[in-house]
Amino acid sequence: MTSDFPRTIKEHQANVRAIPCVITAYPWPTIHHCHGGSMIEAGHDSGGGQRGCGEALILPIKADWHVGDQGIDYGVGVLTWELWYGTQMDHLKEVNEQLDYDIFQLHEAWKIEAPPRGR
């Protein structure tokens, strides 16, 4: 794994949390682990649940759009959410442009070597 990647899951999550919500630009987002919908179409998720795409492919989302009534998890569901707010894959591409490393390469690296959780 390249040294440019975050060393731990916690470090990667902190980097993503530093980006405002991809829907509302709210500055204190939660972390959404991408799954289903566009992620299956892109070949990144086998449909294995809410962490189906692993720890690298995550989005910063305001809590209401994550787990609230309008949320992708426990709210309207993945397909309706993507119809309303755009695909997870498109939002991941936006997040990828804002980081100093490639989250899709990180995802592939972490598939080979499990990332440390971190402190």
The pLDDT score that the predictor gives to residue 48 is 55
CB 58 within 8 A of CB 50: no
Q: Hey, what domains does the chain have and what are their CATH numbers?
A: 9-110 (3.30.40)
Task: Give the integer Cα–Cα distance in Å for 2 and 11.
Answer: 15
pLDDT tens for each residue of the chain, 119 residues long = 445 899 999 999 999 999 999 999 999 999 999 999 999 888 887 655 555 688 999 999 999 999 999 999 989 999 999 999 999 999 999 999 999 999 999 999 998 887 777 65
Name the residue type at position 106.
Answer: L
pLDDT of residue 66: 95
